[in-house]
Amino acid sequence: MRYSPEQKTRNRERILDAAGALIKLRGFAATGVDALMAASGLTAGAFYSNFRSKAEFLGALVDREMGSSVLRFEVASVAEAKACFAAYLSRAHVEQPEQGCILPALSAEVARSDETVRGAFERRLLEVHAGTVRQTRDEALAWSLLAQAVGGVMLARAAQSPDTRRSILKSLRTCIDEAIDAHESRTGSNT
């Protein structure tokens, strides 16, 4: 059956919508085409009419999910920056990876992926960084805050004990707030 260009676009978006949550929950390696298509309610044929390969699909998915991460870190003030990182380092974000940011869910798998996937990831990562630089006016601080937040979510997700998870998240929220305040104090900026 031939689909109109509009239907093909809708199917592509439907696949990406369903796959984003599934892959952030299970990972790239553990998620086959059949599972992706079952989640989207479409057939494997629809997958291959929209993507030439799983690598192309993963590149498109990473680009799309990283776009959400770019928006997550687009804030204009110190208060918004603190709120952004507090929400990122929250129990809800840790316990619901399928609804959260791709960075802690898939960074390790992206590192083992092909150039298409890593290229899409890096382009968007630089956009996330640029958004954080706009908050902090400091490139090194922006990388540091992002690494702390992403790493903190990864560690909290890996920890078995709820007390350990809470400790990790609370400690990092405090450190990030202090780093933002100290930077603002040193530079006198209104980030």
User: What are 98-124's pLDDT values in tens digits?
Assistant: 999 999 999 998 999 888 889 989 999
What mean pLDDT comes out for the span 43-55?
A: 84
Please state the rounded mean pLDDT for residues 21-35.
85
Could you tell me how many residues make up the chain? Answer: 191
Residue with tokens 């109109």: 4
Tell me which residue of 89, 78, 90, 106 sits closest to 189, measured CA to CA. Answer: 78
Calculate what percentage of the chain has a pLDDT beyond 90: 46
Percent of the chain residues past pLDDT 70, beyond the cut: 97
Helices (H), 27-161: 33-40, 44-50, 54-72, 78-88, 91-95, 102-111, 115-136, 139-158
Judge whether 172 and 89 are in contact, CB under 8 Å. Answer: yes
**Residues 6+ away with beta carbon under 8 Å from 61:** 16, 19, 20, 23
**Residue ranges of domains in the chain:** 1-51, 53-187
pLDDT at 188 over 90: no
Residues with Cβ within 8 Å of 123's Cβ and at least 6 positions away in sequence, in order, are 63, 66
Q: What is the pLDDT of residue 191?
A: 44
Q: Are 188 and 138 in contact (CB under 8 A)?
A: no
**The two structure tokens encoding residue 48:** 């291959």
Instruction: Judge whether residue 88 has pLDDT over 70.
Output: yes
Does CATH place domain 53-187 in 1.10.357.10? yes
**What is the fold of 1-51?**
Arc Repressor Mutant, subunit A (1.10.10)
Task: Report the chain's mean pLDDT, rounded to a whole number.
Answer: 89
Is the pLDDT reported for residue 37 higher than 60? yes
